Structure 1
Amino acid sequence: MLFSESFQMALTSLYANKMRSLLTMLGIIIGVAAVIALVSVGMGVRSNVTSSIASLGSNMLIISPGASQKGGVRGAAGSRKTLKYDDAKAIEQKVKNIDYVSPTVSSSYQVVYGNNNWNTSVQGVTPELLSIRSLSISNGSFITENDLSKRQRVAVIGTTVAENLFEDKNPVGQNIRINNQPFKVVGLLESKGQSSMGQDQDDMIYIPLTTAMERMLGITYVQSINVQVSDATKMDQVQDEIETLLRQRHHLAAAHKEDDFTVRNLTSLMETVSQSTSMLTLLLGAIAGISLLVGGIGIMNIMMVSVTERTREIGIRKALGATFLNIMTQFLIESMVIGIIGGIIGIGVGCAASEIIARVAGFTTVITWAPILVSFLFSVGIGLFFGIYPARKAARLDPIEALRYE
């Protein structure tokens, strides 16, 4: 019996029992669709988190005031005022393999222009932040060293702030009031859109760090220091040098004294997060894959019923010369066709489900070829594996007993 003839007979048999065939495929369809949809969600989570970390800058170290929590014990009171602007300058001057250092402070303020007002985040920064965060100026200029040294009341605003305060008007050169203090807009940033965590990156105002510290907040410390390392392979070395320098500057030379600062390595953090989200994606795919096994059991069940129903037909074919291999091939092809058709439909349903999740939930999903190919091959393999026993049972039937079967 030719393979093409067996394939055609399999399709005819499935078409003759359309509803039963569809219900049999349902397990495979749901399994494949679930694998694709859940893996796309898992990969979306991974993409979101890694892009969120990457948006802070490449090869980044972030220094925060206060000791890291160990054993549930917090840093001492007042430890959040331990970083100074001079610490940032010392790091820039004394630690090698560093491209940029940018200390920052931030707070939320009401911003007013004419009859319009808007509540937004205001960050005090240095000119280096432009390079660290890969910001682009669409109009005007960014904060300069002159602005920093003279504590100028100048501001660079994001597009969201510009739209709410100025509408269609060019904001550069206009005067706004931040917390009732006058500032001149010197630059407009290009839009960066929402971050992967849903935060509007354009809803931001940048002012000189010295202006923010002395004229707005009235503080003598900084809230964080961003350090961009020139070479990713030297991240750990630079981190150790920064920790040693800050311990010296903060008079923590004694071994028993805890750090009053925390240095976070974003590259290591990204690797850890990537590993965790990969495990999450694998777990989601494995859970969804269980439904494929259930679908395979359904295929075996229906093929067993089909063998019983077609016992007399099998007897006639064997009496006419059909061999053990012919009968095996016919029933294996039928079970594989169920897996193939179910897998193809499942791919379409899974991709559609992934798109629906992305649009309805406002969540990023990532569809790749790997889960599609693996789930499809698995569905075909399931059809083949669970079709072997019914096919063997059909092929081993005694033709005389089969012909006498009512």
Structure 2
Amino acid sequence: MGFWQLTLEALRSLRANRLRSALAILGVIIGITSVVMMMATGDWMRAFIDKELSRLGRNQLLVFPAAATEGAVRTSGKRPALTLGDAEAIAQLPSVKLAAAEIRGFVQAHFGSDNENLSVLGVTPEMLSLKNWPVEQGVSFDNNDVRSGKRVLLIGAKLAKKYYAGRDPIGQSVRLDGRPYTVIGVLATEGQGLNGNDEGELMLVPITAAPSRERLLPGVVNALTVQGREGTAMSDVEMDVAELLRDRHRITGDREDDFRTIDLAGIAKAGASIAKGLQLGMGLIGAIALIVGGIGIMNIMLVSVSERVREIGIRMAIGAKPRDVLAQFLVEAVVLCILGGLAGLGLAWGAAAAISHFAHFDMPLAVRHMVVAVSFAASVGLFFGYYPARRASKLLPIECLRQD
């Protein structure tokens, strides 16, 4: 009996017991869905991090104020923070190409009669180069605007489309926490950044005109971004920055630093570790579900063998060999699992589409995901279907024909 004929026979047999077959493959469906989603999630996380770091460059360092400690308790806001002067001094280091400062806060933004709570960044002009935030319409602010504290504003493309559809946003007035700012440029930014924020909703102002600056001491900033020169190891850049800040902040001896540094390459490693952890966790769930599903299929096949003893005897009596019976039941188990795999693949596709739509990031399923899903399903069928198939092939025709 050929493979296709065996497959057709398997489908007829499974169709005769639809409910039992559906219940048998439930574990396979859950397992394959978990495996596919595991692979898609890991691929998306790695692709996202690689894309962001290729856009920003891996030779960047983030500098934040450190939390203070009192005994064993960490506190905040009790130490000298980073300043604009720190950014200017760091920019003069031989190992550093650019350094920029930022103040981040949330404001009530009024676009005419519309208003929304949005994040606003007060930055120095160098930040636009460091973060690769090009201006697609209008102009950017410069160091003169920073020195004068001019209330000018750059907005993301998403905000421009949302509030100025069909109108020129340049020259429009936006009130941030009640203060008027003039839009001078629109940023060509889209998608989510490494911090999870939608870059299409960016709002940038000169750091000295940031609405949140009244909550900080004069000249104090929330964070610094440092870009090392090409060919310079980031460990050397980090060491130079740390030495300079310790000197400027008068930190000597064994005193704890009042700042902390984060290498973007370290973020990539952390992201890869998280992705690997997610893959392992979901893979474990998938493996358990596949084992449970495989055991269920083995039980169903054993029941099927016991119900079809007379059929097996008749086949053998008219010339079927043990290997033919083995192949027949093994193909039934494999077909059952492949159907479960295809159903799991469809479920995973629907879940990925829902995540892409509602969470606003793309999680496509690649061809290799589909191949792995079908291969896993077929492997489960072969492994758990072999024992029932072998048991059927070992039956003696005369004993089978005696069964009622």
Report the TM range for the smaller structure's normalisation: 0.7 to 0.9
Aligned to 1:247: 246
Matched residue type, 1:238: V
Aligned to 1:311: 309
Whole-angstrom CA distance in 1 between matches of 2:94 and 2:69? 26
Picking from 351, 368, 380, the partner of 1:382 is: 380
Shift of 1:384: 1.1
Provide closer, same or farther for how the CA distance between residues 356 and 177 of structure 1 changes in structure 2, counting only shifts above 3 A: closer
Aligned to 1:347: 345
Does the 8 Å contact 2:31/2:287 carry over to 1?
A: yes
Aligned to 1:13: 13
Aligned to 2:82: 83
Whole-angstrom CA distance in 2 between matches of 1:88 and 1:187? 25
Does the 8 Å contact 1:148/1:210 carry over to 2?
A: yes
Which whole-Å deviations, capped at 9, do the CAs of 1:284-311 have from their partners, x for residues lacking one? 1220232222221122112212222222
Whole-angstrom CA distance in 2 between matches of 1:172 and 1:130? 18
Does the 8 Å contact 2:60/2:227 carry over to 1?
A: yes
Does the 8 Å contact 2:337/2:377 carry over to 1?
A: yes
Shift of 1:239: 0.7
Does the 8 Å contact 1:316/1:403 carry over to 2?
A: yes
Gaps of 5+ in 2: none
Provide closer, same or farther for how the CA distance between residues 115 and 279 of structure 1 changes in structure 2, counting only shifts above 3 A: closer
Which whole-Å deviations, capped at 9, do the CAs of 1:257-307 have from their partners, x for residues lacking one? 111111111220221122122211221122023222222112211221222
Alignment of 1:4-403 (within 5 A): 4-37=4-37, 39-41=39-41, 58-67=58-67, 72-74=72-74, 78-79=78-79, 81-96=80-95, 98-110=96-108, 120-159=118-157, 162=160, 168-175=166-173, 178-179=176-177, 181=179, 183-195=181-193, 199-212=197-210, 219-231=218-230, 234-254=233-253, 256-359=254-357, 365-403=363-401
Which whole-Å deviations, capped at 9, do the CAs of 1:152-191 have from their partners, x for residues lacking one? 3433233465567766542323455555555443222234
Give the match's secondary structure for 1:188. Answer: strand
Shift of 1:316: 2.8
Whole-angstrom CA distance in 2 between matches of 1:114 and 1:295? 59
Provide closer, same or farther for how the CA distance between residues 326 and 130 of structure 1 changes in structure 2, counting only shifts above 3 A: same
Matched residue type, 2:9: M
Matched residue type, 1:14: L
Shift of 1:379: 1.3
Provide closer, same or farther for how the CA distance between residues 128 and 397 of structure 1 changes in structure 2, counting only shifts above 3 A: same
Give the match's secondary structure for 1:93. Answer: coil
Provide closer, same or farther for how the CA distance between residues 372 and 176 of structure 1 changes in structure 2, counting only shifts above 3 A: closer
Matched residue type, 2:122: G
Which whole-Å deviations, capped at 9, do the CAs of 1:75-128 have from their partners, x for residues lacking one? 67631x3322222122111241x3321112234445567666655444322111
Whole-angstrom CA distance in 1 between matches of 2:239 and 2:70? 19
Identity of aligned residues (%): 37
Task: Provide the TM-score with structure 2 as the length reference.
Answer: 0.84
Does the 8 Å contact 2:177/2:211 carry over to 1?
A: no
Matched residue type, 1:269: I
Does the 8 Å contact 2:68/2:76 carry over to 1?
A: no
Provide closer, same or farther for how the CA distance between residues 282 and 94 of structure 1 changes in structure 2, counting only shifts above 3 A: same
Does the 8 Å contact 2:29/2:343 carry over to 1?
A: yes
Does the 8 Å contact 1:316/1:399 carry over to 2?
A: yes
Whole-angstrom CA distance in 2 between matches of 1:193 and 1:278? 23
Provide closer, same or farther for how the CA distance between residues 327 and 92 of structure 1 changes in structure 2, counting only shifts above 3 A: same
Whole-angstrom CA distance in 2 between matches of 1:72 and 1:366? 46
Provide closer, same or farther for how the CA distance between residues 289 and 371 of structure 1 changes in structure 2, counting only shifts above 3 A: farther
Whole-angstrom CA distance in 1 between matches of 2:116 and 2:334? 62
Matched residue type, 1:138: E
Shift of 1:369: 3.8
Shift of 1:218: 6.2
Provide closer, same or farther for how the CA distance between residues 238 and 218 of structure 1 changes in structure 2, counting only shifts above 3 A: closer
Provide closer, same or farther for how the CA distance between residues 300 and 236 of structure 1 changes in structure 2, counting only shifts above 3 A: same
Provide closer, same or farther for how the CA distance between residues 120 and 93 of structure 1 changes in structure 2, counting only shifts above 3 A: same
Equivalent residues, number: 403
Matched residue type, 2:61: L
Does the 8 Å contact 2:107/2:211 carry over to 1?
A: no
Gaps of 5+ in 1: none
Of 388-397 and 214-223, the range deviating more from structure 2: 214-223
Provide closer, same or farther for how the CA distance between residues 118 and 166 of structure 1 changes in structure 2, counting only shifts above 3 A: farther
Does the 8 Å contact 1:57/1:134 carry over to 2?
A: no
Matched residue type, 1:223: N
Does the 8 Å contact 2:173/2:181 carry over to 1?
A: yes
Which whole-Å deviations, capped at 9, do the CAs of 1:212-232 have from their partners, x for residues lacking one? 499966613222111123448
Does the 8 Å contact 2:123/2:207 carry over to 1?
A: yes
Task: Provide the TM-score with structure 1 as the length reference.
Answer: 0.84
